[in-house]
Amino acid sequence: MNQFQYVRPTKQQAAIDAVTKDPNATFIAGGTNLVDLMKRGIATPQKLVDINRLPLTRIDHDPGKLRIGALALNSAVADDKQVRERQPLLAQALNAGASAQLRNMATVGGNMLQRTRCSYFYDLAMPCNKREPGTGCGALEGINRMHAIFGFSDKCIAVHPSDMSVALVALDATVLVSGPKGDRSIPFADFHRLPGDTPEKDTNLEKGELITAVEVPDGPFTKYVHYQKVRERASYAFALLSVAAALDIENNTIKAARLAMGGVAHKPWRLTAAEQMLVGKPATEASFRQAAEVAMQGAKAFKHNAYKLKLGPNAIVQALRTAASAA
């Protein structure tokens, strides 16, 4: 472990200033990912700014939206009555992530900022453009069974690991941040980045910007929802592939739909075309299969992850089928 300075500010602006003014400083909250990266020598901050004393843990229902503080624990959000009643898809996704012990430490903001679990990123002996730009992508010709089928580049084919983020992108959430230039809001769909030529950049946050809250708008998706996670073991495993599905159904007709996938891209992958195709269709197996076909357009596999081209549509159909029967 490298030596580092540790500070615990009690004021939000002090925390922002501490990270803004020091190029080697970073925020820490639950530490469930950052500490692992530090132990492996992947992240080597010289200053940790602990933000746990900031008042960012509240979960409130404002008019028309649910506001979740960035320091709210994953377990607290999943168990919150307002979340379970107003945004059950989010609660399901959170409960599908990690283990109970980790959910009791991990924060909402930290969950969004998780780095990939690509084995080449974690292996310092292997090339990885995300860890060390310009060295290459070991996964391209390596063991890539966990890797992307959408939105990748020749610089990186890693996937984003968060379950919570898949639900949030499907639910049109907004990320609230505060930084040296003031406050701003970022649509969740624009928060994470595709790799392009800069895979080392996971998000569109600027230096010193602190996530303060996530807002999820109220909607009709309180009954017919399901988070489908396919993994190699029943718990404490990252998704091979996941699907967040939410439907608004009246008289067996789909009035609105929300769909997103995890484990398939460098960011949570929204399936907008499939959502639009479902509107006005009957909530039937045939409609769900048609949506899955639309959703998978443009998918491309590598040597070891071709199974995702079959698993993907099957998981979408299963998620929609389960959501439609949730009542």
Distance CA 57, CA 74 (A): 11
pLDDT tens digits for the chain (327 residues)? Answer: 689 999 999 999 999 999 999 999 999 999 999 999 999 999 999 999 999 999 999 999 988 999 999 999 999 999 999 999 999 999 999 999 999 999 999 999 999 999 999 999 999 999 999 999 999 999 999 999 999 999 999 999 999 999 999 999 999 999 999 999 999 999 999 999 999 999 999 999 999 999 999 999 999 999 999 999 999 998 889 999 999 999 999 999 999 999 999 999 999 999 999 999 999 999 999 999 999 999 999 999 999 999 999 999 999 999 999 999 986
Q: If you ran DSSP here, which 8-state letter would residue 107 be given?
A: B
75, two tokens: 């377990």
Distance CA 223, CA 218 (A): 13
- Between helix 285-295 and helix 308-324 the angle, nearest 10°, is 140
**Sheet containing 47-50, strands listed edge to edge, beginning at the edge strand earlier in sequence:** 5-7, 47-50, 25-28
Predicted pLDDT at 234: 86
Distance CA 39, CA 306 (A): 33
pTM of the model: 0.97
Q: Tally the C-alpha atoms within 13 A of residue 268's C-alpha that lie toward its C-beta.
A: 31
Predicted pLDDT at 2: 83
Distance CA 58, CA 71 (A): 8
List C-alpha distances in Å: 266 to 74, 75, 115, 142, 152: 22, 25, 10, 17, 7
Predicted pLDDT at 327: 66
Q: Are 239 and 145 in contact (CB under 8 A)?
A: no
Phi then psi for residue 318, to 5 deg, are: -65, -40
Could you tell me which of 79, 78, 72, 24 has the C-alpha nearest to residue 212?
72
Kind and range of the H or E run holding 92: helix 88-96
Phi then psi for residue 273, to 5 deg, are: -60, -40
Distance CA 162, CA 93 (A): 9
